[in-house]
Amino acid sequence: MINGTELSLTIAHIVQRLKGSHLHSQIERQAKECLHQPEIKLESLREDVRSFLKTSGGHNNASFCYTHSLPPSHPTAPPEHLKEPLAYMRKAQASWEKRVFKSLNSMSTELGVPLARMRPAVEQKELANKWNEMGTDEPDLSRFRPVYAPKDFLEVLISLRNPNHDGSEDVSARSHWGLIQVPLNVRDIPQLRQAYSELNLTTGQLGIDDHAHIHPESHFLSLSCLVVVEQDSAAAQQYSRQGCSTGLRADLWALILNSTNQPQDVMHYEQLKAGVIQHDLLVDNLIYKDVKLTASNDDYYFVFEDFLYQVLLCFSRDTAVLEHFKYNSATPPKSYIQGKVGDEECAVVYPPNVCVSVCDFVGMCFFSTVAPLCFLYNEPSKLYSVFREMYTRYFFRLHSISSSPSGIVSLCLQFERLLQTHLPQLFYHLRQIGAQPLRIAFKWMVRAFSGYLSTDQLLLLWDRILGYDSLEVVAVLAAAVFAFRAENLMEVTSLASAEAVLADLSTLKVMPLIQIFLFATAI
């Protein structure tokens, strides 16, 4: 039971986080509007405003958004515990960041390219004029190299060890088959069945039943229309668990993420755009190279090349994202102005929002998490708003070291445990021929399958990520893919041949695979 002091601290903590957010401005606007209602009396103003907010949905959406955005923690917990409770995880993340930042600084020194510079007036005017045609540029980016590759990040995860854990105490020898050797609690199939009960074989699913005409899409569409009209975030999330109707997916996702496109949101986007035009960052070149190497050569995404540049360059300037690092194991890197290295008064965060600096700049996260959203949103400001919420709520966990159940460490461990427990012969065979399953599946999971599944199937998968507020389903799908191709994989004799069997996932149907693996696997 929370005592009075703790309750006061918790309330103050929530109010502090609420200030300056989109939700705060929405509730404030609704409160001002209600003052013009005839039923609002001056003598009972406080109670009448509360009652109005409850009936208008503001109260429910506030409860929903902060239930999902605030990490479970004690209000007086040390800041480092809010970021990550396990010391060895914090140490590993700090070491990884140091390695990445050193690589970035070395590149700046070797190439003679400053981390940031003011663009000359002529260059600013030129960029402003071609803002919507940046894809036509062909800059020479051959000098710029990736800061790291996905396999480098995987090696760091493999090397993780808890100094307080004795691995010899493990009951099963299978625990040593996998590459991830940290003692984290991950759910097995019986627990997953309970947690993901709406995905069972008897419940209607968009992505299955609409194609089989068991439950026509019109059935799902009528429900989603009702949810959108009511503007109920919690109902939208619950609905998303069975898949979103194609025509209303954009509205439902925005509702779940509390992402708006109000005048203040558009103004914020324009301010970020102005920042891009005024200042050139070293990471801009890496973003350009990322998009050129990926989107330009992708049959689905090449048409969105301009959108990708706009969103990613703006994201690298968004200081509002810094708040997110209070609850993320990653730490903003600092640079020092005027050459005063070590002087905290001259320290500045670089890039301004820093999410960029802790990811693989080329081809691992940003392109893959923005591009699918381009199919849903055609306004850059709205696209940006949704991407920022998606990344800071979910996808950042795929690129930082933490003990979160949705973090990449837990997902890798869960994937290996599912395969070891339910397909032990396959796992042992692949291990014996030097084709550890995680080395193949890691690239899928670290990009949430973006770039591997067809777009319609990827969006169905992401529906469930938002619906269950968890990335666990990514690990489940990775294990389901191996189960689906198990017969062919048992015949391979090398890592190369195993990778060939799993090279093309574009024809797979996401929901049948997940359903069969979770609910038709013998326990």
Confidence (pLDDT) at 348: 60
pLDDT at position 357, please?
Answer: 40
In the chain, % of residues over pLDDT 90: 46
| Cβ neighbourhood burial of 34 (10 Å; 0-12, 13-18, 19+) | buried
Q: pLDDT confidence of 1, banded at 50, 70, 90?
A: very low
Amino acid at residue number 330: A
Q: How many CB atoms lie within 10 A of CB 88?
A: 17
Highest-scoring range by mean pLDDT, 47-51, 192-196, 335-339: 192-196
CA–CA distance, 82 with 78 (Å, rounded to integer): 7
Q: Which residue has the tokens 């515990």?
A: 81
For residue 448 the two structure tokens come to 């949430």
Position 300 confidence tier, pLDDT thresholds 50, 70, 90: confident
For residue range 409-422, list pLDDT tens digits in order: 999 999 999 999 99
**All residues at 6 or more sequence positions from 105 whose CB lies less than 8 Å from its CB, including other chains:** 115
Both tokens of 406, joined, read: 């949705």
Q: Please determine, for residue 304, whether its predicted confidence score (pLDDT) is greater than 60.
A: yes
Of 87, 96, 71, 376, nearest to 244 by C-alpha is: 376
Give the residue from 197, 128, 38, 166 showing the smallest Cα distance to 515: 197
- Residues 344-397: tens digit of each pLDDT: 565 566 565 544 444 444 434 566 788 999 999 999 999 999 999 999 899 989
Contact 445, 415 (CB under 8 A): yes
Cβ(111)–Cβ(143) below 8 Å: yes
Q: Which helix (H) or strand (E) holds 280?
A: strand 279-281
pLDDT of residue 411: 97
Q: What pLDDT, in 10s, does the model give residues 140-177?
A: 788 887 777 788 899 999 999 999 877 665 555 455 68
Least confident of 28-32, 108-112, 130-134, 421-425: 28-32
Domain coordinates in residue numbering, the chain: 4-77
Supply angle C-alpha 42, 14, 468, rounded to 5: 115
Confidence of residue 77 (pLDDT cuts 50, 70, 90): low
> Rounded distance, CA 214 to CA 511, Å?
15
Q: How far apart are CA 246 and CA 362, in angstroms?
A: 30
Q: What pLDDT does residue 352 have?
A: 57
Q: Are 90 and 80 in contact (CB under 8 A)?
A: yes
Q: What is the pLDDT of residue 361?
A: 45
At 447-467, the pLDDT tens digits run: 999 989 999 999 999 999 999
Q: Give kind and range of the element (H or E) at residue 400.
A: none
Give the lowest-confidence range in 14-28, 126-140, 490-504: 14-28
CA distance 222 to 227: 9
pLDDT in tens, 48-71: 656 665 665 555 555 555 455 455
pLDDT in tens, 216-226: 556 667 777 88
CA distances from 269 to 33, 65, 376, 502, 510 (A): 26, 22, 18, 40, 34
| pLDDT higher than threshold 60 for residue 287 | yes
Question: Among candidates 467, 465, 485, which has minimal Cα distance to 475?
Answer: 465
Contact status, residue 415 vs residue 479, Cβ threshold 8 Å: yes
Q: Residue-wise over 206-225: b if at least 16 C-beta within 10 A, else e?
A: bbbbbeeeebebeebbeebe
